[in-house]
Structure 1
Amino acid sequence: MAKEKAPQNKQGLRMIPFIIMVLAGVVIWFIPVPAGLDVKAWHLFAIFVATIIGFISKPLPMGAIAVFALAVTALTGTLSIEDTLSGFGNKTIWLIVIAFFISRGFIKTGLGARIAYLFVRMFGKKTLGLSYSLLFSDLILSPAIPSNTARAGGIIFPIIHSLSETFGSTPRNGTERKIGAFLLNVGFQGNLITSAMFLTAMAANPLIAKLAHDVAGVNLTWTSWAVAAIVPGLVSLIITPFVIYKLNPPEIKETPDAAGIATNKLKEMGPFKRSELFMVIVFFLVLFLWIFGSNANIDATTTALIGLSVLFLTQVLDWGDIKKEQGAWDTLIWFSTLLMLATFLNKLGMVGWFSVMMESFVSGFSWISAFLVLILVYFYSHYFFASATAHISAMYSAFFAVMVAAGAPPLLSALTLAFFSNLFGCTTHYGAGAAPVFFGAGYIPEGKWWFIGFILSIVHIATWLVVGGLWWKVLGIW
């Protein structure tokens, strides 16, 4: 099993992006406040835009940009220090942070890799079957591992890379198309689908749930999200490998040795360990409570705390593991900051003002036409973003508010935007957290990546709007 590489966080200040970020905020700050809008809302919007530009251009790591935004918000008196720091006390934040801690157990115990190798051993006799085994490994892990980057890059990618090398498929030998390019493409694209299927499968999904509630009072629970996504999600998981198989076919069609490779890897891992057993128990415990806990008034964040506590008591994790989980602490900082900014932009009337202004532009359309136009613009604008979180923070609330103002059903709008906030990462080699990991392996040329991504974007939009639309009609969502 591949060892995890230590995160590299030694980025220094990049002066030109920093200057652009600051100038953007200053220019907006001093533009005359539009009629009907509170001055504090406009100033907070200036800080918000500068923060998003910082997240995209990365003059500093995201956490450092977030701290800078907090300092400016409090120093300028735009918000009180209590309001500025209010995001850190939000239960949505802690749900995702604790889920990060729980996911550490899958990697530390080796359970995540064991599950993937078991699927490879069972279904890996053909290349297409091998790709499905990797996808459904990801699907099983996705409800409990909120970092799709960690899930794809830390568990799935090392297995694909190992299998590719074993089959003699490496870019340095010009044999990347034997099997490696196909498996890497499927592994990456499938990860976006599983991320869309569960509230806890991608770090920014709970942010979406909070924004949907704040803008229009829509409650996206763990169960309602999963039920709405399960049918179009499974259809997408079935279709995607076929599409990639046709667009970028592997030269090796049969993989009889894959099962043997997986068996040897499982032998190296040894017998099922006590720590893995406890990890399985906790996985099913939190899954059960996320689905049924609301009947006993057990909140989703409380469930996450229960699961983490059991992992401590069984010594699957110790406090040292928690301190070293840099992704969780990093998420706590930038996520809390974004949530605070988005919450107060709504409270101060910025989102409402924007939706009223935009309503006039779509007033002549039926709600279905307005919905389709807005959802397509939202999806394909991701070409301009290098982060799903930045895209969601910048555009989700506004697009959701305009859809509702145009007459679209609020729950339908909230869920469709939520699912597409994961799926739009298919387009480029920089649009999702795991993309640089998979693209950087050198198996897939940039042009091929963008071509396959564009075709899959059409497939995803058609699948989720047609198959999903019919399923959501059955559920009474619209």
Structure 2
Amino acid sequence: MLKDTKVLGVIVFLLIGLIIGIFKSFAGLVPQGHFILATVIVALGLWIFRPGGLPFMAGGTVLLAGGLIFGLKYNVVASGFVSSAVWVLIPALYFGFVLQKTGLGKRIAYLVLKSFEPSWLSMAVSWFIIGIALSALTPSITVRIAIVMPIAISVVEACKLDYSSKGSAFITIIAWAMCLFPGTGWLTGSLTGPIMLGFLPPELKPMATFDAWFKILGLPWFIITVIFIILIYFIMKPKEAIGIPRDTFKEQYAALGAITREEIITVSVLLGSLLLFTTERLHHIPTAATALTALFLLIMFKIIKLPEISSGVNWDVIMFFGITIGLSTIFVTAGVSDWIGPILQPGLLSLAANPLVFLLVATFGIMLIRFIDVPWGFSTIALTVTVLIPIFNQFGIHPLVSSMAYIIGINFFLLGYQQPFVLMAEGIMQGKGWASRHVTIAGLSYIVAVVITLLVSVPYWRLIGAIR
């Protein structure tokens, strides 16, 4: 039944694409724009439903081939692959690979856990620290989840909690969220950074430096993370004590053995990269160059070996990001952005005088779109970012402030299917961590944290000059 539903979903998107391409019913949109929009809708259907477990590359090839068939040049359809965002993304995924391969990620997690007397509060604080530490070493949320979630389930079992119970959900949801939220506060702390950098119009990309990202978005994402933890703590914390002896984590840390040569090299390279990322304004070495140099060192010291070049990272995901990042250029070249601009501008301009209202409207609008634009909302971002962000930049709102609505939307979840990282964690935990109702409660907590943070952040952004 599920398989039939997925096939039916693709067929519906295919029919919508055919109707758009054949009838060209959008007034003001040139024929090429209709064809490209139709192609994107077909690709989107394949990305959302993935019948038979089709890789993301299936939709990507449809998009690339369609773009070429309907008259776009190679440098347009493949523009995402020459973006600095992709060349930060590829080394970043390898950073995550070596963090997992060497055991360094697990060592960091147990080092933190064994440092506190076990309690529900210390468990939340521990996951927060672990999330920041792992985010500093790799922007790969996939790897962080792969490291953290098995440990979280082992904590649930050590506490003798029922699977999918309130206590189990408390531990696993906070552990999962700390893989996602804290690192969003700096450019290389999450894949959201390179992704949004890739979507920005070329003239605005220089404004999205590491320093600017951290200065503008670091505090808001810290606040979102803290408020989320507080809400989950009061909503899901069991009344009973946690019931796990401190020696449990000390024993698990000791079982890892002495730190290895590979771990020392890995942590040295990754910390060195982080130092260069944070001091870019002093030495002017681009983030992508630093990331690629770090990858070279990991290969030179044989932390990454020849067979692992192909198997160490998910190239399907890399291709997906490269293709979707190029959507902005595709929409501009095909005239789709020129067509959507006059439609969006009147409403957008009416919000220009009130950045808070603009951000709230844009944020909730993108959240609503995420119910259907499932793969992180990338097609929506690509379609609107070249229209929305430049307009508000002219009104004195920094592009990264405008990007906040999109970034919130990328991290948004209310139902499990909306957030691929929820599905990934559930697969790792084999359904033992939380129930679907816990995901919805956590999603509502995230929305509350976002609203409170936006209310606080607008005065802060005015103070630092990000809003003039």
1:42 — aligned with what?
34
For residues 264-287 of structure 1, the C-alpha deviation after alignment (integer angstroms, 9 at most, x for no partner) is: 111111011111111111111111
Whole-angstrom CA distance in 1 between matches of 2:117 and 2:37: 51
Whole-angstrom CA distance in 1 between matches of 2:212 and 2:37: 31
- Secondary structure of the 1:361 match is helix
1:442–1:127 CA distance, 2 compared to 1 (3 A): same
2:322 is matched with which residue: 336, 345, 359? 336
Whole-angstrom CA distance in 1 between matches of 2:375 and 2:396: 27
Deviation for aligned residue 1:141:
1.2
2:462 is matched with which residue: 446, 468, 473? 473
2:208 — aligned with what?
220
Once the two structures are superposed, the pairs formed by residues 166-315 of structure 1 within 5 Å of their partners are 166-171=158-163, 176-177=165-166, 179-214=167-202, 219-255=207-243, 257=245, 259-315=246-302
Whole-angstrom CA distance in 2 between matches of 1:229 and 1:372: 16
Deviation for aligned residue 1:243:
0.9
1:97–1:449 CA distance, 2 compared to 1 (3 A): same
Whole-angstrom CA distance in 2 between matches of 1:460 and 1:253: 30
1:106 is matched with which residue: 82, 99, 120? 99
2:58 is matched with which residue: 44, 52, 64? 64
Deviation for aligned residue 1:36:
4.1
Whole-angstrom CA distance in 2 between matches of 1:343 and 1:91: 14
Q: CA contact under 8 A between 1:101 and 1:325: conserved in structure 2? A: yes
Aligned residue identity for 2:460? W
Q: CA contact under 8 A between 1:67 and 1:333: conserved in structure 2? A: no
1:419 is matched with which residue: 400, 407, 411? 407
Deviation for aligned residue 1:194:
2.1
- Structure 1 stretches of 5 or more lacking a match? 1-10
Aligned residue identity for 1:336? G
Whole-angstrom CA distance in 2 between matches of 1:428 and 1:396: 23
Deviation for aligned residue 1:365:
4.6
Aligned residue identity for 2:247? G
- Secondary structure of the 2:412 match is helix
* Aligned sequence identity (%): 20
- Secondary structure of the 2:208 match is coil
1:344–1:310 CA distance, 2 compared to 1 (3 A): same
Once the two structures are superposed, the pairs formed by residues 157-168 of structure 1 within 5 Å of their partners are 157-168=149-160
1:146 — aligned with what?
139
1:330–1:421 CA distance, 2 compared to 1 (3 A): same
Whole-angstrom CA distance in 2 between matches of 1:81 and 1:363: 35
Whole-angstrom CA distance in 2 between matches of 1:420 and 1:14: 27
1:461–1:396 CA distance, 2 compared to 1 (3 A): farther
1:452 is matched with which residue: 432, 439, 442? 442
Whole-angstrom CA distance in 2 between matches of 1:376 and 1:383: 11
- Secondary structure of the 1:367 match is coil
1:192–1:89 CA distance, 2 compared to 1 (3 A): same
1:97 — aligned with what?
90
Aligned residue identity for 1:25? G
User: What is the aligned-residue RMSD (CA, Å)?
Assistant: 2.7
Deviation for aligned residue 1:61:
2.0
Greater Cα shift, 62-71 or 300-309: 62-71
Aligned residue identity for 1:346? V
Whole-angstrom CA distance in 2 between matches of 1:107 and 1:124: 26
Q: CA contact under 8 A between 1:142 and 1:194: conserved in structure 2? A: yes
Q: CA contact under 8 A between 1:396 and 1:417: conserved in structure 2? A: no
TM-score of the two chains, using structure 2 as the length reference: 0.89
Whole-angstrom CA distance in 2 between matches of 1:313 and 1:107: 18
Whole-angstrom CA distance in 2 between matches of 1:408 and 1:423: 26
1:412–1:126 CA distance, 2 compared to 1 (3 A): same
1:5 — aligned with what?
none
Deviation for aligned residue 1:247:
1.2
Aligned residue identity for 2:44? I
1:277–1:145 CA distance, 2 compared to 1 (3 A): same
Deviation for aligned residue 1:404:
5.1
1:277–1:206 CA distance, 2 compared to 1 (3 A): same
1:212–1:83 CA distance, 2 compared to 1 (3 A): closer
1:78–1:19 CA distance, 2 compared to 1 (3 A): farther
1:382 — aligned with what?
370
Whole-angstrom CA distance in 1 between matches of 2:97 and 2:417: 25
Deviation for aligned residue 1:164:
0.7
Deviation for aligned residue 1:217:
5.7
Greater Cα shift, 12-21 or 261-270: 12-21
- Secondary structure of the 2:160 match is coil
1:31 — aligned with what?
23
Q: CA contact under 8 A between 1:222 and 1:291: conserved in structure 2? A: yes
Q: CA contact under 8 A between 2:276 and 2:290: conserved in structure 1? A: yes
Q: CA contact under 8 A between 1:44 and 1:341: conserved in structure 2? A: no
2:337 — aligned with what?
351
For residues 352-402 of structure 1, the C-alpha deviation after alignment (integer angstroms, 9 at most, x for no partner) is: 3312222223454553234432222123432334331xx033235516724
Q: CA contact under 8 A between 1:55 and 1:62: conserved in structure 2? A: yes
1:155 aligns with 2:126: no
Q: CA contact under 8 A between 1:356 and 1:405: conserved in structure 2? A: no
For residues 398-424 of structure 1, the C-alpha deviation after alignment (integer angstroms, 9 at most, x for no partner) is: 167246546471425433124313431
1:123 — aligned with what?
116
2:311 — aligned with what?
324
Q: CA contact under 8 A between 1:91 and 1:301: conserved in structure 2? A: yes
Greater Cα shift, 346-355 or 330-339: 346-355
1:237–1:282 CA distance, 2 compared to 1 (3 A): same
Whole-angstrom CA distance in 1 between matches of 2:411 and 2:364: 12
- Secondary structure of the 2:233 match is helix
1:78 — aligned with what?
71
1:233–1:404 CA distance, 2 compared to 1 (3 A): same
Name the count of aligned residue pairs: 456
